[in-house]
Chains A and B, each alone.
Chain A
């Protein structure tokens, strides 16, 4: 039986393994338990620097930007009109030189610093982990959806915009009740399936959550160091 669907117990085990590696590597993940139960989620915060020419992050007070900004908002800080990010493909979204449809050149080095918070929860409906995240300016203002799109590398953005279901949208955090952004989990089986199928042939154990995270994490600035996998091998019990 090909099973690219995860159950809650497997999710918890995978998380605990990931957590052990994270502790060894100093990668900053923690397990937040729901009071009085085994339920919980992985959590991590990180500062992230986003090139300001990836898109129109609102130039209101509250953004830290380095000198010589080449920001895209108009200099009065006037908010850009509401756009549907999924429909927008054009030049008003991407400003730097494009060599061809699939690539992107960053032309200057100014950047904005944001504070990210990442949560990994389990979706029992889809039998998959789900990434919830939110971002704040250093002054504590939370990012809107349109601004969030601007923090995603334009190459990823092109792929996501072709996804029929809004791949990234605002959602209520199922345990905390607060607004977060999240990656819709309905396509997880599509990319995890091949990974799980190939694993037995290669004789390597697969940590579902780790493999999944290495696919979705980088899209929103969450890198998963390769050392996670080397640690997996070196401490593997006989």
Chain B
């Protein structure tokens, strides 16, 4: 369907206007100006922030510079989560631009993974793709791909090339017609109310008696608190790529069209703003 392909493009090209400010405690030779950037929702911080690093390094001495890391309102930002997920989880419903603080010292190694090169990001990305395919196709599709095909997925993401990426990714979105969908849906539900970083379990897109599972069915099973009962006031928003899809949306459709490039459906449950 032509409409569905538009969704793929809209997801890929989603952007978040961001303002990067240097942590005031960093030692600088002169004052650092803020740096503005449109961040791709579907990418990862280390991949798209080379310019940010260069900008701030201009006012710092080499000996004052260690591994760069980012923080929003005191929370270290996990670079291995897609940028859009970080925004939806921590800063949705706030006034744009998204204000991120840049650090070059005191890396919080109890909170953040290290990321000393883009090959680490690539390894994480490919690891997610492989895990997603283990769930969808018992790894058959990803294992049938050649190394250059895997590389194409990563390069497509890194270089923001939608067509290059989807030429390969479409294979990961196929399934035998008679099955009605993937074996299991790769998803993660994030919330900030408890220590557990995310919920990820096995869930089929279609029930044994051929009922199509919806987003609402998934939440009912995995995170019932996110749902509003009749007569109650709405307490939570369920966000995917910054929007609230209807709970009646079939999960299989969401998985095919609203997954991130890592092939996971990343779902953020955030409290409704009280303003």
Contacts and interface: CB of A to CB of B under 8 A. Distances in A.
Interface of A: 34, 82, 84, 124-126, 142, 144-145, 165-166, 169-179, 184, 186
Contact of A165 (B113, B127, B135, B200): B127
B134 interface: yes
B197 A179 contact: no
Which range holds the interface residue count of chain B?
Answer: 20 to 34
Given A82-B116, A142-B109, A177 B197 contact: yes
Nearest to A35: B194
Q: Please provide the 10 A-B residue pairs with the shortest distance between their CB atoms, ordered closest to farther.
A: A177-B197, A170-B113, A125-B131, A124-B202, A125-B134, A179-B113, A166-B123, A125-B135, A82-B116, A126-B134
A8 to B, nearest CB: 8
A174 B200 contact: yes
B72 interface: no
Main secondary structure of the interface of A (DSSP, over half): loop
Given A165-B127, A172-B197, 14 more contacts: A34-B196, A124-B202, A125-B134, A125-B200, A126-B134, A165-B130, A170-B113, A170-B114, A172-B80, A174-B197, A174-B198, A175-B196, A177-B196, A186-B134
B201 A124 contact: yes
Interface of B: 78, 80, 109-114, 116-117, 119, 123, 127, 130-131, 134-135, 139, 186, 195-198, 200-202
Contacts of A176: 195, 197
A175 B139 CA distance: 24
B183 to A, nearest CB: 11
Contact of B139 (A169, A172, A179, A186): A186
Contacts of B111: 177-179
